[in-house]
Amino acid sequence: MSLRLENKVALVTGAGRGVGRADAIRLATEGAQVILTDINAREGEAVAQEIGERARFIPQDVSSENQWKQIVALIEKDYGRLDILVNNAAILQLADVTEETLAGWRRVFSINTESVFLGVQHCLPLLEQTGGGSIINMSSSSALFGLPQFAAYSASKAAVRGFTQSVAVYCNQRGKGVRCNSLHPDSIATPMTMEIAAQAGGRQLADSDRVKPFVCSPEDVANTVLFLASDESRHINGATISLDGGATITPPYL
Protein backbone atom coordinates (compact mmCIF):
# COMPACT_ATOMS: atom_id res chain seq x y z
CA MET A 1 0.00 0.00 0.00
CA SER A 2 1.47 3.35 -1.06
CA LEU A 3 1.94 6.22 1.34
CA ARG A 4 -0.54 9.08 1.05
CA LEU A 5 2.10 11.71 0.25
CA GLU A 6 4.62 9.60 -1.59
CA ASN A 7 6.91 11.64 -3.88
CA LYS A 8 5.47 14.94 -2.63
CA VAL A 9 7.50 17.87 -1.28
CA ALA A 10 6.15 19.93 1.61
CA LEU A 11 7.18 23.18 3.26
CA VAL A 12 6.09 23.72 6.88
CA THR A 13 6.83 27.01 8.65
CA GLY A 14 7.16 27.32 12.40
CA ALA A 15 8.04 23.64 12.59
CA GLY A 16 10.36 23.80 15.58
CA ARG A 17 7.69 22.90 18.11
CA GLY A 18 3.97 22.57 18.77
CA VAL A 19 1.64 22.21 15.81
CA GLY A 20 4.36 22.80 13.21
CA ARG A 21 6.47 20.01 14.64
CA ALA A 22 3.48 17.64 14.64
CA ASP A 23 2.63 18.63 11.06
CA ALA A 24 6.15 17.96 9.83
CA ILE A 25 6.32 14.56 11.52
CA ARG A 26 2.90 13.50 10.22
CA LEU A 27 3.59 14.54 6.63
CA ALA A 28 6.95 12.79 6.65
CA THR A 29 5.48 9.54 7.99
CA GLU A 30 3.17 9.52 4.97
CA GLY A 31 6.04 9.80 2.53
CA ALA A 32 6.56 13.53 1.98
CA GLN A 33 9.96 15.13 1.79
CA VAL A 34 9.51 17.92 4.35
CA ILE A 35 11.35 21.22 4.47
CA LEU A 36 11.00 22.58 7.98
CA THR A 37 11.58 26.23 8.79
CA ASP A 38 11.66 28.11 12.07
CA ILE A 39 13.31 31.18 13.53
CA ASN A 40 14.68 28.97 16.32
CA ALA A 41 17.43 26.96 14.65
CA ARG A 42 18.10 24.71 17.65
CA GLU A 43 14.51 23.52 17.88
CA GLY A 44 14.13 23.20 14.12
CA GLU A 45 17.28 21.13 13.72
CA ALA A 46 16.16 18.85 16.54
CA VAL A 47 12.87 18.12 14.80
CA ALA A 48 14.61 17.43 11.48
CA GLN A 49 16.97 15.00 13.20
CA GLU A 50 14.02 13.35 14.91
CA ILE A 51 12.29 12.78 11.56
CA GLY A 52 15.40 11.62 9.74
CA GLU A 53 16.10 11.41 6.02
CA ARG A 54 12.74 12.78 4.92
CA ALA A 55 13.35 16.11 6.68
CA ARG A 56 15.52 19.15 6.08
CA PHE A 57 15.67 22.23 8.28
CA ILE A 58 16.23 25.77 7.01
CA PRO A 59 16.29 28.75 9.42
CA GLN A 60 13.67 31.35 8.47
CA ASP A 61 12.19 34.60 9.67
CA VAL A 62 8.81 34.33 7.96
CA SER A 63 8.34 38.11 8.01
CA SER A 64 11.34 38.56 5.67
CA GLU A 65 10.47 38.61 1.97
CA ASN A 66 14.10 38.02 0.99
CA GLN A 67 14.21 34.83 3.03
CA TRP A 68 11.03 33.59 1.36
CA LYS A 69 12.60 34.20 -2.04
CA GLN A 70 15.77 32.36 -1.02
CA ILE A 71 13.90 29.33 0.34
CA VAL A 72 11.67 29.00 -2.72
CA ALA A 73 14.74 29.25 -5.00
CA LEU A 74 16.48 26.56 -2.94
CA ILE A 75 13.46 24.23 -3.10
CA GLU A 76 13.20 24.65 -6.85
CA LYS A 77 16.92 24.02 -7.30
CA ASP A 78 17.21 21.02 -4.99
CA TYR A 79 13.80 19.36 -5.39
CA GLY A 80 12.36 20.77 -8.61
CA ARG A 81 8.83 20.90 -7.18
CA LEU A 82 6.64 21.93 -4.26
CA ASP A 83 3.34 20.17 -3.58
CA ILE A 84 2.34 21.36 -0.12
CA LEU A 85 2.69 24.67 1.72
CA VAL A 86 1.70 24.79 5.39
CA ASN A 87 1.72 28.38 6.64
CA ASN A 88 1.87 27.56 10.33
CA ALA A 89 4.28 30.06 11.93
CA ALA A 90 2.56 32.50 14.27
CA ILE A 91 2.81 34.28 17.60
CA LEU A 92 0.15 34.64 20.29
CA GLN A 93 0.19 38.01 22.02
CA LEU A 94 -1.80 38.74 25.18
CA ALA A 95 -3.37 42.22 24.96
CA ASP A 96 -6.90 43.56 24.65
CA VAL A 97 -7.79 46.56 22.51
CA THR A 98 -6.86 49.08 25.23
CA GLU A 99 -3.56 47.37 26.09
CA GLU A 100 -2.28 46.66 22.58
CA THR A 101 0.22 49.06 21.03
CA LEU A 102 0.63 49.94 17.38
CA ALA A 103 4.09 48.37 17.43
CA GLY A 104 2.66 45.19 18.96
CA TRP A 105 -0.19 45.12 16.44
CA ARG A 106 2.23 45.45 13.55
CA ARG A 107 4.52 42.74 14.94
CA VAL A 108 1.64 40.27 15.20
CA PHE A 109 0.43 41.04 11.69
CA SER A 110 3.92 40.81 10.19
CA ILE A 111 4.34 37.26 11.52
CA ASN A 112 0.78 35.93 11.49
CA THR A 113 -0.63 37.52 8.34
CA GLU A 114 2.04 39.11 6.14
CA SER A 115 4.07 35.89 6.27
CA VAL A 116 1.08 33.98 4.88
CA PHE A 117 0.79 36.47 2.02
CA LEU A 118 4.52 36.21 1.30
CA GLY A 119 4.48 32.42 1.46
CA VAL A 120 1.57 32.09 -0.94
CA GLN A 121 2.82 34.73 -3.35
CA HIS A 122 6.32 33.28 -3.66
CA CYS A 123 5.42 29.57 -3.49
CA LEU A 124 2.41 29.65 -5.83
CA PRO A 125 4.36 29.54 -9.12
CA LEU A 126 6.21 26.42 -7.96
CA LEU A 127 3.02 24.84 -6.61
CA GLU A 128 1.28 25.41 -9.96
CA GLN A 129 3.98 23.44 -11.75
CA THR A 130 2.92 20.26 -9.92
CA GLY A 131 -0.62 20.46 -11.32
CA GLY A 132 -2.25 19.90 -7.95
CA GLY A 133 -0.64 21.69 -5.01
CA SER A 134 -2.23 22.30 -1.61
CA ILE A 135 -1.90 25.45 0.51
CA ILE A 136 -2.93 25.12 4.15
CA ASN A 137 -3.11 28.37 6.10
CA MET A 138 -3.30 28.00 9.86
CA SER A 139 -5.93 30.35 11.23
CA SER A 140 -7.81 30.04 14.53
CA SER A 141 -11.24 29.77 16.09
CA SER A 142 -10.62 33.36 17.20
CA ALA A 143 -11.21 34.35 13.56
CA LEU A 144 -14.79 33.11 13.98
CA PHE A 145 -15.74 34.55 17.37
CA GLY A 146 -14.54 37.32 19.66
CA LEU A 147 -11.50 36.71 21.84
CA PRO A 148 -11.13 39.97 23.77
CA GLN A 149 -7.78 39.26 25.43
CA PHE A 150 -6.05 38.76 22.07
CA ALA A 151 -7.08 41.72 19.91
CA ALA A 152 -4.23 41.69 17.41
CA TYR A 153 -4.03 37.89 17.22
CA SER A 154 -7.75 37.51 16.53
CA ALA A 155 -7.67 40.17 13.83
CA SER A 156 -4.57 38.66 12.22
CA LYS A 157 -6.18 35.24 12.03
CA ALA A 158 -9.42 36.66 10.61
CA ALA A 159 -7.32 38.28 7.90
CA VAL A 160 -5.78 34.89 7.11
CA ARG A 161 -9.26 33.48 6.59
CA GLY A 162 -10.27 36.23 4.17
CA PHE A 163 -6.98 36.01 2.30
CA THR A 164 -7.36 32.22 1.98
CA GLN A 165 -10.75 32.59 0.31
CA SER A 166 -9.36 35.19 -2.10
CA VAL A 167 -6.48 32.90 -3.04
CA ALA A 168 -8.82 29.90 -3.44
CA VAL A 169 -10.97 31.73 -5.99
CA TYR A 170 -7.88 33.01 -7.78
CA CYS A 171 -6.48 29.47 -8.00
CA ASN A 172 -9.79 28.22 -9.40
CA GLN A 173 -9.65 30.86 -12.08
CA ARG A 174 -6.08 29.91 -12.93
CA GLY A 175 -7.05 26.27 -13.45
CA LYS A 176 -3.65 24.93 -12.34
CA GLY A 177 -5.00 22.56 -9.71
CA VAL A 178 -3.80 24.43 -6.61
CA ARG A 179 -6.14 24.51 -3.60
CA CYS A 180 -6.06 26.86 -0.60
CA ASN A 181 -7.86 26.22 2.69
CA SER A 182 -7.74 27.62 6.21
CA LEU A 183 -7.75 25.54 9.38
CA HIS A 184 -9.31 26.94 12.58
CA PRO A 185 -8.35 25.09 15.77
CA ASP A 186 -9.56 26.21 19.17
CA SER A 187 -7.34 25.70 22.23
CA ILE A 188 -4.30 23.54 21.46
CA ALA A 189 -2.01 22.04 24.09
CA THR A 190 1.28 23.55 22.88
CA PRO A 191 4.27 25.25 24.56
CA MET A 192 3.12 28.62 23.17
CA THR A 193 -0.28 28.44 24.82
CA MET A 194 1.32 27.32 28.08
CA GLU A 195 3.66 30.31 27.95
CA ILE A 196 0.73 32.69 27.42
CA ALA A 197 -1.13 31.15 30.35
CA ALA A 198 1.93 31.78 32.52
CA GLN A 199 2.14 35.40 31.33
CA ALA A 200 -1.49 35.96 32.25
CA GLY A 201 -0.67 35.66 35.94
CA GLY A 202 -3.87 36.20 37.92
CA ARG A 203 -5.90 37.14 34.85
CA GLN A 204 -8.42 34.45 33.96
CA LEU A 205 -8.39 34.03 30.18
CA ALA A 206 -11.34 31.63 30.05
CA ASP A 207 -13.55 29.37 32.11
CA SER A 208 -11.34 26.29 32.38
CA ASP A 209 -14.27 23.91 32.81
CA ARG A 210 -15.86 25.26 29.63
CA VAL A 211 -12.63 25.22 27.60
CA LYS A 212 -11.50 21.72 28.59
CA PRO A 213 -13.80 19.76 26.20
CA PHE A 214 -12.55 21.79 23.23
CA VAL A 215 -8.79 21.43 23.78
CA CYS A 216 -7.04 19.37 21.11
CA SER A 217 -3.52 18.08 20.68
CA PRO A 218 -1.02 19.12 17.99
CA GLU A 219 -1.43 15.63 16.54
CA ASP A 220 -5.17 16.24 16.06
CA VAL A 221 -4.31 19.28 13.97
CA ALA A 222 -1.62 17.39 12.07
CA ASN A 223 -4.05 14.68 11.04
CA THR A 224 -6.31 17.30 9.47
CA VAL A 225 -3.33 18.95 7.78
CA LEU A 226 -2.44 15.55 6.33
CA PHE A 227 -5.91 15.17 4.85
CA LEU A 228 -5.81 18.64 3.29
CA ALA A 229 -2.31 17.97 1.95
CA SER A 230 -3.32 14.70 0.32
CA ASP A 231 -5.15 14.11 -2.94
CA GLU A 232 -8.09 12.82 -0.88
CA SER A 233 -9.16 16.44 -0.39
CA ARG A 234 -8.71 17.49 -4.01
CA HIS A 235 -12.24 18.94 -4.21
CA ILE A 236 -11.90 21.02 -1.04
CA ASN A 237 -10.92 24.58 -1.89
CA GLY A 238 -11.53 27.83 -0.01
CA ALA A 239 -12.93 26.02 3.01
CA THR A 240 -12.95 27.37 6.56
CA ILE A 241 -12.41 24.18 8.52
CA SER A 242 -13.14 24.31 12.24
CA LEU A 243 -11.14 21.98 14.44
CA ASP A 244 -12.62 22.97 17.77
CA GLY A 245 -14.80 20.21 19.18
CA GLY A 246 -17.83 22.40 18.63
CA ALA A 247 -16.51 25.46 20.50
CA THR A 248 -17.61 27.97 17.86
CA ILE A 249 -21.19 26.69 17.87
CA THR A 250 -21.66 26.12 21.59
CA PRO A 251 -23.66 28.81 23.44
CA PRO A 252 -21.78 30.30 26.43
CA TYR A 253 -24.46 29.25 28.90
CA LEU A 254 -24.06 25.52 28.16
Q: Determine the pLDDT at residue 76.
A: 98
Share of the chain above pLDDT 90, in %: 77
Range of the domain at 210: 9-236
Within-domain flag for 166? yes
Residue 188 pLDDT > 60: yes
What is the pLDDT averaged over residues 24-44? 98
CATH of the domain at 57: 3.40.50.720
Within-domain flag for 242? no
Residue 212 pLDDT > 70: no
Domain count, the chain: 1
Residue 198 pLDDT > 70: no
* DSSP symbols for the chain: ---TTTT-EEEESSTTSHHHHHHHHHHHHTT-EEEEEES-HHHHHHHHHHH-TTEEEEE--TT-HHHHHHHHHHHHHHTS---EEEE-------B-TTT--HHHHHHHHIIIIIHHHHHHHHHHHHHHHHTS-EEEEE--GGGTS--TTBHHHHHHHHHHHHHHHHHHHHHHHHTS--EEEEEEE-SB--HHHHHHHHHHTT---S-HHHHGGG-B-HHHHHHHHHHHHSGGGTT--S-EEEESTTGGGS-TT-
Within-domain flag for 168? yes
Within-domain flag for 50? yes
Within-domain flag for 161? yes
Per-residue confidence at 205, pLDDT binned at 50, 70, 90?
Answer: very low
Please indicate whether residue 253 is annotated as part of the active site: no
Q: Determine the pLDDT at residue 147.
A: 84
Within-domain flag for 250? no
pLDDT tens per residue, range 109-161 = 999 999 999 999 999 999 999 988 999 999 998 889 888 899 999 999 999 99
Within-domain flag for 248? no
Within-domain flag for 244? no
Per-residue confidence at 210, pLDDT binned at 50, 70, 90?
Answer: very low
Q: Determine the pLDDT at residue 102.
A: 98
Average pLDDT, the chain: 90
